[in-house]
């Protein structure tokens, strides 16, 4: 009852401010010992109820589960979902106001490296002039195009390289809980903390 009362107070306070358009969550490593995707629907519901338009989830060191298996488990989620693996993409969900991406590939360093390698291949074949290579050219080759306003890191204080390019100006929030033990009040506190910060975007 006490947690529910806290949730209601936090939700009321949050609705008076600006909600992040895009939230990224790095799922703690230990969650991958179990079926981590079972909590995805619950967290997606938290985002949708606040009016978050985009969310991206990254399970660190995802297990050997197949893309098809995970997508099947997430088929009833009330969102427009995309599951991105190393070399595969599959849609899931029943649709709704929020776009949800679950990324089970490698981290951000690998993503940026692959984008640069793709550009270099086009330079070699004469399709791209080296003088035309800029930030926009690299961004156009990234698999994840979202720019999270809020990046939530679960299970520790160390940084993750997930979305290392896209999260340059993201607000970071650390929660010392595993994905399995994440509660709605934890999530709401992260959003409220975001609202209280003065964003400078590198200035």
User: Of 20 and 28, which is predicted with more confidence?
Assistant: 20
Band (5; pLDDT cuts 50, 70, 90): confident
Residue 129, Cβ density class (10 Å: 0-12 exposed, 13-18 middle, ≥19 buried):
exposed
- DSSP labels, 65-95: --HHHHHHHTTT-SSEEEEE-SS-EEEES--
Please give the domain boundaries of the chain with CATH numbers for all domains: 21-196 (3.40.1180.10)
Distance CA 188, CA 50 (A): 9
Question: Per DSSP, what are the bridge partners of residue 67?
Answer: none
Helices (H), the chain: 2-14, 40-50, 67-73, 108-124, 135-139, 184-196
pLDDT grade for 31, boundaries at 50, 70 and 90:
low
> What's the pLDDT at 155?
81
Residue 17 makes CB contacts below 8 A (sequence gap 6+) with 195
What token pair was written down for 87?
Answer: 């070399």
| Position with higher pLDDT, 166 vs 4 | 166
Quote the pTM value: 0.88
Cβ-based neighbour number of residue 110 at 10 Å: 13
């Amino acid at each position: 009852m006490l947690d529910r009362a806290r949730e209601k107070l936090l939700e009321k306070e949050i609705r008076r401010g600006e909600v992040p358009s895009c939230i990224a969550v790095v799922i703690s490593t230990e969650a991958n010992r179990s079926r981590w995707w079972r909590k995805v629907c619950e967290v997606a519901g938290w985002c949708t109820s606040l009016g978050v338009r985009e969310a991206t989830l990254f399970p660190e060191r995802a297990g050997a589960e197949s893309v098809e298996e995970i997508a099947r488990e997430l088929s009833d989620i009330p969102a427009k979902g995309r599951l991105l693996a190393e070399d595969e993409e599959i849609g899931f969900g029943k649709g709704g106001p929020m776009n949800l991406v679950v990324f089970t590939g490698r981290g951000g360093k690998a993503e940026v490296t692959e984008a640069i390698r793709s550009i270099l291949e086009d330079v070699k074949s004469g399709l791209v002039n080296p003088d035309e290579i800029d930030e926009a050219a690299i961004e156009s080759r990234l698999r994840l195009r979202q720019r999270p306003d809020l990046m939530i890191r679960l299970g520790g204080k160390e940084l993750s390289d997930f979305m290392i390019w896209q999260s340059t100006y993201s607000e970071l929030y650390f929660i010392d809980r595993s994905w399995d033990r994440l509660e709605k009040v934890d999530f709401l506190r992260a959003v409220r903390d975001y609202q209280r910060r003065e964003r400078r975007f590198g200035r």
